[in-house]
Structure 1
Amino acid sequence: MSQPTEVLIVEDDVRIAEIHRRFTEKIGGFTVVGTATNGEQAKEWIELVQPQLILLDVYLPDMRGIDLVPFIRENAKEADIIMITAASEVDVVRHAMRGGVFDYIVKPLTFDRFKRSLEHYRSKMQQLEHQEKLSPDQIESLWNTSSPGAEIHVDTSPKGIDPLTLEKILKCVSGIGEEGITAELLSQESGVSRSTARRYLEYLISQRKIYAELIYGNVGRPERRYFQV
């Protein structure tokens, strides 16, 4: 099992920093290794722990967070950055883009937006960790931040899960509406057997891509329907 991604929080408001910590720890695969409330503290933490991911605010009491980016690039070359800030000035956004910032989240922060960003980051890091060579589609997906669901998934599937079949199932699942989908409907859409469709749907539940509910009709047995997370 992969080690959790070590996260450093750089945020001057201790209440907001605590929210970021709690949000991070609710998402699997991440662990907070420290919190800095100003730029100088952040530099010390960065040099000391070499975090893999830095959640960085712009407005710090002693400097702008965006001005930390060159320091991070020089002293923690393997670190990635997600900006979480109320700053909307063009020069700040431009500096973030030029500094290779992975994502830019504008406050006020919601857990759904935070979770989507970290899960998107985790997915991309898994692709880079488990693949020696990437296809053109996979390379394009690494820069596609607008549609996380369109990413190309890495072949780290367990026994009985074929990557090509999984890709076909994912395309069908991506079109699930509010009414959800059953294994039988998925079987018809994808061309696989109903038992195969059910197996892949249950696998996607284990990956937290979808969830299932028992829907009770007027007559007959309840049916298991699957919905996007």
Structure 2
Amino acid sequence: MSNLRPIEVLIVEDDARVAKVNQRFTEKMEGFRVVAIAATGQEAKVWLEEMQPQLVLLDVYLPDMKGIELVWHIRQHYKQMDIIMITAAEEIEVIQDALRGGVFDYLVKPVLFDRFKQSMEKYRLHLQTLSSHQRLDQKQVDQLLGHVQEPMSETSLAKVLPKGIDPVTLEKVVQAVQEHAEQGLTAEQVGNYLGASRTTARRYLEYLVSIKRIRADHTYGTIGRPERKYYAEQN
């Protein structure tokens, strides 16, 4: 990307501290350059006209107008620009308005760099796809719109799993529960299947329950003591 023209970015944010964070995050990304920072909607309109940036990082709450108003101003006057919202606004109405205005992404403050980086890299790939093709087939359109997700690699999956949950072991637990779908399994039985302790098996099982991959019910054993059994979810 170093020999290509960088993607020019306008930051619209009234909180100077947050604006600096967004600027620092952007400048850590290869192929992006911050061309201006605006603290108000009116100031943003001036920079939009003068700089014609390719990407606008936009807050919802500005001193003189709502960021959504600026979204529609951009759509009316600068159709070639893209917008990523970076805001504390979590109201569904605001999010719906932003999506209807065609924002590329919507990040809720406080934004971690990893999520910011993911958004910017996805945007860069989006531009590369558009610039390198004259026509797109259905699969490419689906990928462009985010309707198709590639299966996560083991390494990627491990990054999003809670600490102490190994993806390979997790799938073994799922397989064990699915193979005994009718009768269900206790944590002790799963532990025996894994060659692990009952406590380790329960940790994996309870995680799978929390993400609704399996379900748990209480039954009574032969001596009348309640047992927690785990069952595969029915599709």
TM-score bracket relative to the smaller structure: 0.5 to 0.7
Matches within 5 A, 1:55-204: 55-144=57-146, 147=149, 150=150, 174-177=152-155
Structure 1: gaps (5+ residues)? 151-170, 181-229
Counterpart-to-counterpart distance in 2, 1:179 and 1:40: 44
Query: Displacement, 1:58?
Result: 0.4
Query: Displacement, 1:178?
Result: 7.8
Structure 2: gaps (5+ residues)? 159-235
Provide runs of 4+ in structure 1 moved above 4 Å: none
- The alignment covers a number of residue pairs equal to 156
Q: 1:179 to 1:13 in 2, by over 3 A?
A: closer
TM-score (norm 2): 0.63
Q: 1:22 to 1:94 in 2, by over 3 A?
A: same
Query: Displacement, 1:177?
Result: 3.6
State the Cα deviation string for residues 146-204 of structure 1 (Å, max 9, x = none): 84xx3xxxxxxxxxxxxxxxxxxxx7xx4234899xxxxxxxxxxxxxxxxxxxxxxxx
Q: Secondary structure at the match of 2:154?
A: coil
Does the CA contact (< 8 Å) of 1:85 and 1:105 recur in 2?
Answer: yes
Identity within the alignment, %: 52
Does the CA contact (< 8 Å) of 1:56 and 1:84 recur in 2?
Answer: yes
TM-score (norm 1): 0.64
Bigger Rg, which one: 2
Counterpart-to-counterpart distance in 2, 1:49 and 1:75: 14
Counterpart-to-counterpart distance in 2, 1:129 and 1:178: 28
Q: Secondary structure at the match of 1:94?
A: helix
Say which of 8, 11, 16 aligns to 1:9: 11
Counterpart-to-counterpart distance in 1, 2:157 and 2:112: 26
Does the CA contact (< 8 Å) of 2:9 and 2:55 recur in 1?
Answer: yes
Counterpart-to-counterpart distance in 1, 2:41 and 2:107: 19
The amino acid of 2:153's aligned partner reads: G
Say which of 28, 53, 56 aligns to 1:54: 56
